Amino acid sequence: MKTLFTYNWMVREDWYKWCEDVPLEELLKVRTGGVGGILHTLFHIIDVEWSWIRVLKGKPDFQESFDGYKSLEKVKELDELFKKEVQEFVGSWESGLENKLLQETRQDGSIETLTWGEVMRHTIAHEIHHVGQLSVWFREIGKQPVSANLIGKGLTILEELKK
C-alpha cells in the first residue's frame, strides 16, 4: 500500500515539473474526458486522495472549488498542505486496518459498506487512472508524457531499508 502511494506522489511531482514549461492556457484548457483540463485534473487527484483519507479518519471532506486554484503554484501548495496528513495516515497503515468497515451514504441516499483497504486501493487506482488521461493530453499538445513506470524508481528497496 505504502509503495503505491509513494509511487503516485513521485509521479505527481514529475508532472508538476513537466507542467512548469507548459503555458497556463494549455494547463487550464478544458479537454475531452476527465474532470476538465490538466491543472483541474491534478487538483482533482489531490482533492480525492485527501478527501478519502479524511473520510477514513472520520473528519469532514474537502469542499472547495477549483476556481481558487487556477495556477500550478496554487495546486502545488494545496498538495503540500494535504500531503502531510495523507503521508502520516499511509505511514501508519497496518494490516489490521485492511478489513475495518466504512459506511458511506451514496447520492441516492442508500448506504454502501466498504472496507478501508478497498478505499485505499481505490484512491491509488483513481490517481493512476487520471495520470493516463494526463498522458494522452500531453501527447495531444506535442509533449512526451511523464513515465508511468514503477520499475527503476527504487520504491521496494526503500521499503525494505525502512524495516
Report CA-CA distances (Å) from 100 to 16, 49, 56, 59. 34, 18, 10, 16
Neighbours of 118 (CB within 10 A): 14
Question: Can you give the pTM of this predicted structure?
Answer: 0.91
CATH number of the domain where residue 76 is located: 1.20.120.450
Quick check: 88 pLDDT over 80? Answer: yes
For the stretch 110-163, pLDDT in tens is 999 999 999 999 999 999 999 999 999 999 999 999 988 888 888 876 555 565
133: containing domain: 2-162
In the prediction, which pLDDT does 162 show? Answer: 61
| Whether 43 contacts 132, CB under 8 Å | no
Residues in the chain: 163
Secondary-structure breakdown of the chain: helix, strand, coil percentages, each rounded to the nearest 5: 65, 5, 30
H helices within 23-154, ranges in order?
24-28, 38-56, 72-91, 116-140
User: Alpha-carbon distance 146 to 17, whole Å?
Assistant: 10
In the prediction, which pLDDT does 157 show? Answer: 64
Report the candidate in 29, 110, 106, 98 with the shortest Cα–Cα distance to residue 70.
Answer: 29
Which residue type sits at 67?
D
The number of domains in the chain is: 1
- Identify the band that residue 91 occupies on the pLDDT scale cut at 50, 70 and 90: very high
Interval 59-79 mean pLDDT: 93
